[in-house]
Amino acid sequence: MPAPTGVSIVIDGGNATTNDLDVVLTIAATDADEMAFSNDGVTFSPFEVFGTSKSFNLSDFNGGSAEGIRRVTVKVRDTFDNAETTAFDEILFEVPEPRIEFDVESIDLGLVPIADVTNTRFAFRNTGDGPLEIADVRVYALEGC
């Protein structure tokens, strides 16, 4: 029996970038019974029953968690004579980063008399795609010109 043909793999629906190490792989092949995956083209997962979709973590099998181009290789085979065929796809992994955005950037306290007490509340939100951690906050007020 010949090796599987028409082998292809698509990471995350063909997106060019991702900020999540967990992705979905779409696999296609003719005459394939089993599949295995790798992030480095050398160390593969154990073979499993062939399927057209697979949840996959880009850090598994020597992938690591640093930013950069990630290549996922699929190796398929038939169970009759174990002929193997590979294909790969690439995606850019970018580490998610927080981005703080304030509702009001600054307040002019020039009309508040010296020695008067005023309270100001600043509202902010995280508009980035990574967790925002705030620690050791200090607020300074400058008076006079």
DSSP per residue, 54-70: EEEETTTTTT-SSSEEE
Spatial contact of 43 and 64, defined as CB atoms under 8 Å apart: no
- The tens place of each residue's pLDDT in the chain, 145 residues long, gives 678 999 999 999 999 999 889 999 999 999 999 999 998 888 899 999 999 999 999 987 666 778 889 999 999 999 886 678 999 999 999 887 778 888 877 777 777 777 777 777 778 888 877 777 888 777 666 655 4
CA dihedral of residues 59, 64, 67, 71 (deg, nearest 10):
-60
Provide the CATH topology of domain 5-93.
Answer: Immunoglobulin-like (2.60.40)
**pTM exceeding 0.85:** no
Q: What does the domain layout of the chain look like in residue ranges?
A: 5-93
